[in-house]
Copies of this chain bind each other. A is one copy, B any other.
Amino acid sequence: MSITPLIEYEDATEEVLSVYEDIMATRGSNWVNNFWKALATQPELLKRTWNGVKSVMADGALDSLTKEMIYVAVSATNNCNYCTNSHTTAARAKGMTDEMFAELMAVVGMANQTNSLANGFQVEVDEQFRNGGRN
């Protein structure tokens, strides 16, 4: 059920297994989702992607719940069904309520609307907004 075989635990090499174990340990869960099993056909891609996700999604200047909601926002915009479902699940596990989800979607919808309006009207960036208001 993917373009490459899914690598199950029992078929995983040492290298792949150690990533699987890190995924489960980091999440405090006892299973690995299909995304990683698909990437595991190329261990280098699996390791690099997981290490990136683990590092990026940890609490930092932004808390991890906010990060999950940003992930959902991008995934809904790109229409990635897999990512929308998996990161919504993750956001819920971290405390996102139905009301927060609905507000998140309201912002996503509004942003997609005004993005196309600004592009369609070819509106020039105001002096005050240049470089994201940096100067």
Q: A interface vs B, CB < 8 Å?
A: 1-5, 31, 33-35, 38-39, 41-42, 44-45, 48-49, 51-53, 55-57, 60-62, 66-67, 69-90, 92-93, 97-126, 128-134
Query: Within the oligomer, what is the number of copies of this chain?
Result: 6
List B contacts of A82 (CB < 8 A).
Answer: 118-119, 123-125, 129
**Are B85 and A130 in contact (CB-based, < 8 A)?**
yes
Q: Which of B103, B114, B120 contacts A3 (CB 8 A)?
A: B120
Complex Cα spacing A126 to B53, Å: 19
Q: Which of B31, B79, B89, B92 contacts A119 (CB 8 A)?
A: B79
**Are A105 and B84 in contact (CB-based, < 8 A)?**
no
